[in-house]
Structure 1
Amino acid sequence: MHDVTMAVGDDSIDDSSFALCLTHDVDRPYKSWPQSLYYTVADADPSHLVSMLPGQNPYWQFETIMSLENSLGVRSAFYFLNEPDLFHEKPVRAWAQSDDWIQQLGRYDITNPEIASIIRTLNADGWEIGLHGSYQSYRDRFRLTYEKTVLESILGETILGGRQHYLNLDGVKTWRYHTEMGLGYDASLGSSTEYGFTNGYGVKRPFNDEFIVFPLTVMESTLPDPEEHAEKARTVCERLLAEARENGAVMTVLWHPRYFSDREFPGYTDLYRFIIERARELNAWIGPPGELYPHLVNRTAHATSSEISEQKR
């Protein structure tokens, strides 16, 4: 498995020192009653119930993200989830499984007109749309193919990549499914509990071809809480950005849309803005993985040709 990093002085990305890939997993665009009740009890804060009043939905943050990123002159990737309906698409025996209930409680219908409309709006305005494979799809090629087909029918065009729900992977088998489906990349390799370049500074080529894996560097929930530890959170992000620049890395960040609700998750929007602004100061290329993908494929082809030439000597 070969790694591909960003070379300082690569004309194809305007001589950027490293790459910052921005991604959003659309897990829960609607806040459910069970979630509101849970946080009301856990936080001893009845204001969580206010979010369930008509016209209130703190998890619907698409316009907020679009406005923020537009003001910063950047774009990102949104990965949409199509979790099977527990009562209509799964066997009765699944009703006794706690994991299936958890997925059902947060489930949304990707074909809902409101969801379909925002997918098309994002795509039309330059944001990347990708697949967020459902909880069990990482080991179910037929389900994963179905989800890709449905999303593409909504979008009206093919998609390039995405990320598995919960970062689920079955080794290279899941990536093999992706290549067989025609996807060019996956962004599931990473941790939901730790941040950092634990999987290296470059993207991966598990099959030494044009399929690319973007390792996840940081998920927002792994960072120090920016409301209680704002300076510490910024220091961690500053260190990661500096490390990315020093090593010509491809740094991928995940910010779930609900974390842009300042009332529910104070401090996270400002931290996201800080990452982008600081990355620009460090001369980073910034955008969605799908936009960077062709540059990396070209570098992969060049590296492969160099390896062949070297072997012939």
Structure 2
Amino acid sequence: MAEFALCLTHDVDRPYKSYQSIADALVERDPSRLADLSPQVNPYWQFDSLMELEDELGVRSAFYFLSERGLRNRSLRKWLRPRYWIEHLGRYDVSAPRMARVIEELDAGGWEVGLHGSYDSYDDPERLATEKKIVERVLGHPVKGGRQHFLNRVPATWDHHRTIGLSYDSSLGSSTEYGFAHGYDPIHPFGDEFTVFPLTLMEVALFEQHDDLESAWDACERLLTEAAANDAVMTVLWHPRYLSDDFPGYRTLYRRLIERALELDAWIGPPAECYGRLVEEGDDIAELDAAANAAD
């Protein structure tokens, strides 16, 4: 029997390197960095690499796909805000042939494909429902859950998720802090089977808190040991682009995290599969509902 669960997730925010290539070329005074703009070079396209790594280790994860709306569909007020230009420059189309092939390959290989709710969708159930349908049309079957972009959330967000037919969400967490701030167990905010998987660790938080690879790894080791000691469900997020050479150390940490969890006899997989196991095993919803109330 597994000592604890490690849920692996990937938010697909920016699978194409764009304005970052121009910034790199200017900062490094190296015009050759503009080659990253080519689809044949694009270092942020890490799907094959991630699948190969996880397949080698015998694990699977969840990939959450984003359908951010274009600027032409936004108000003039938002046109004037830099945040929305950044989101626009990072847009991609999940139904484009290359992306659709990736989604089909992930699904066929046993990976979970889920929803990454767009920047403003956390309080827009109609937009969330539309984005869910966009991903499902490519996938060919319903998605189980996902995570909101930038972890955006209001009290009504989980109700929106449940209303549009999602079984779980994993937006409760931080991009700058890590740990079991919301407890060791999944949360049932409505006292039913809808489940919240708190985010234990986002990769960027490691280097927010630590200056070098080894101290970042020590933090991962401590989290895994704490998870094993408390029979926890630990959820981690590694954005695919962070496995590129543009971000030294992140790939090493991700591999070591999985390898160490396997040594500690963890169950490892995507949240949708963990959700199914919890329901099948008769997860104590009443007890976890109390934890949800405390978290809010």
**TM-score, normalisation: structure 1:** 0.87
Are residue 276 (structure 1) and residue 258 (structure 2) matched? yes
Deviations 1:181-233 (A, max 9, x none): 11000000000111111111111110010000000011111113899612111
> For residues 113-142 of structure 1, what are the alpha-carbon distances to aligned partners after superposition, in whole Å with 9 as ceiling and x for unaligned?
111111111001100000000000001000
Q: Does 1:99 align with 2:83?
A: yes
* CA spacing shift, 1:242–1:54, aligned 2, 3 Å: closer
Residue deviations 1:211-270, cap 9 Å, x none?
Answer: 000000111111138996121111110000000001111000000000111x21121111
Q: Distance in 2 between matches of 1:101 and 1:303?
A: 42
Structure 2 counterpart of 1:187, one-letter code: S
User: SS of the counterpart of 1:162?
Assistant: strand
- Contact 1:226/1:267 (8 A) holds in 2: no
Equivalence for 1:31:
17
2:29 is the counterpart of 1:63: no
Structure 2 CA distance for partners of 1:103 and 1:54, relative to 1, 3 Å: closer
Runs (4+) of structure 1 exceeding 6 A deviation are 225-228
Aligned residues: 288
- 2:96 is aligned to 112
Match of 2:114 in 1: 130
Q: Label 1:47 to 1:226 Cα distance change in 2 as closer, same or farther (>3 A).
A: farther
Deviates more, 1:127-136 or 1:267-276: 267-276
| Deviating more after overlay: 145-154 vs 223-232 | 223-232
Relative distance call for 1:102 and 1:153 in structure 2 (3 A) is same
Secondary structure at the counterpart of residue 178 of structure 2? coil
1:43 shift after superposition: 5.2
* Secondary structure in 2 matching 1:203: coil
1:283-306 Cα offsets, whole Å, 9 max, x none, are 10000001110122244555549x
Alignment partners' CA distance in 2, 1:233 and 1:304: 36
| 2:162 partner SS | helix
State how far apart, in whole Å, the 2-side matches of 1:45 and 1:267 are: 23
Q: Is 2:229 the counterpart of 1:246?
A: yes
Displacement, 1:27? 0.1
CA radius of gyration, larger in: 1
Specify the alignment match of 2:127 in structure 1. 143
Residue in structure 2 matched with residue 18 of structure 1 by the alignment = 4
The DSSP-based 3-state class of the residue aligned with 2:225 is helix
Letter in 1 for 2:67: N
Superposed displacement of residue 280, structure 1: 0.7
Distance 1:46 1:242, change over 3 A: farther
The equivalent of 1:7 in structure 2 is: none
Alignment of 1:221-300 (within 5 A): 221-224=204-207, 229-261=212-244, 263-300=245-282
**What are the Cα deviations for residues 35-82 of structure 1, in whole angstroms up to 9, with x where unaligned?**
222234445665532312462100000000000000000000000000
Confirm or deny: 8 A CA contact 2:8 2:237 kept in the other structure.
yes
TM-score by length of 2: 0.92
Task: Read off the aligned partner of 1:158 and give its amino acid letter.
Answer: P
Output one character per residue of 1:144-171: Cα deviation in whole Å (capped at 9) or x when no partner: 0000011111111011000000000012
Secondary structure in 1 aligned to 2:177?
coil
Query: Aligned residue for 2:68?
Result: 83
Please give the alpha-carbon distance, in whole angstroms, between the structure 1 residues aligned to 2:99 and 2:21: 22
Q: Residue 149 of structure 2 aligns with which residue? A: 165
Q: Which sections of structure 1, spanning at least 5 residues, go unmatched?
A: 1-14, 308-313
* Percentage of matched positions with identical amino acids: 56
**Alpha-carbon distance in structure 2 between the residues aligned to 1:23 and 1:288:** 7
Q: Which residue of 2 aligns with 1:174?
A: 157
Give the partner amino acid of 1:159: V
Deviates more, 1:196-205 or 1:40-49: 40-49
Question: Any conservation in 2 of the 1:192–1:222 contact (CA below 8 Å)?
Answer: yes
Does the CA contact (< 8 Å) of 2:60 and 2:269 recur in 1?
Answer: yes
Contact kept? 2:191, 2:285, Cα under 8 Å: no
Aligned counterparts of 1:73 and 1:161: Cα–Cα separation in 2: 23
Structure 2 residues not aligned, in runs of 5+: 290-296
SS of 2:43's equivalent in the other structure is coil
